[in-house]
Amino acid sequence: MAVKAGKGTVCILGGTGFVGRSIAAKLTRTGYAVRIPTRNRQSARGMLILPGLDLIQADVHDPDQLADVVAGADTVINLIGILNERGHDGSGFRHAHVELAEKLMAACRKSGVRRLLQMSALKANAERGPSHYLSTKGLAGAGHPEPGRRKHQVHDIQTFGHLRSG
């Protein structure tokens, strides 16, 4: 279901998580249409009470589905991150943080999305991250925008408890 945008359309990857739910609520209250892809639409159905929210079942790791999800968005926010992985070789972190960020940049370019915000993490560092988590979060934010586009990376923030709007 396509939602009509008052102020614009924002696509939030990771929008069913703690930070994403708060951002989605704030955006819908202020007149933005919000599109959230999810692996399991049924488990996030409680979010459907938000006016202007479009909850789409999709595999964001599939480049074609990802391009479809971001198409028509004015802004895309990537909040996806994992804290643990199966195994201990860093491949799960690389898949979730680096490979997805690369696919997302390509999908945004293909779809003409003008703004992409990449959520990083405290002390993320591609070269000197002391863990797979921090080094891959640093690598995800290391992508370079095309000429004429600015790079926006959100990092070094902490989230505690309930996020207030206002």
Instruction: Please give the backbone phi and psi of residue 147, each rounded to the nearest 5 degrees, phi first.
Output: -55, 140
Q: Locate 134 and state its tokens.
A: 């921090």
CA dist 105 and 43 (Å) reads: 27
Q: Which pLDDT score is estimated for 104?
A: 93
**Which domain covers residue 131, as residue numbers?**
9-154
The predicted-structure confidence for 94-146, as pLDDT tens digits, reads as follows: 888 889 999 999 999 899 998 888 887 666 667 777 777 667 777 776 654 44
Residue 93 domain flag: yes
Q: What is the domain count for the chain?
A: 1
Q: According to the model, what pLDDT value does residue 55 have?
A: 96
Indicate whether 163 belongs to any domain.
Answer: no
User: Considering the domain boundaries, does residue 97 fall inside one?
Assistant: yes
Residue keyed to tokens 């505690």: 160
Is residue 4 one of the residues assigned to a domain? no
Model pTM?
0.80
In a domain, 45, yes or no: yes
Tell whether 159 is covered by a domain. Answer: no
Whether residue 114 is contained in a domain is answered as: yes
Confidence (pLDDT) at 123: 65
Does residue 166 lie within any of the structural domains? no
Spatial CB neighbours of 137, under 8 Å, sequence gap ≥ 6: 81, 97, 120, 121, 124, 129, 155
Q: What is the domain-level CATH number for residue 141?
A: 3.40.50.720
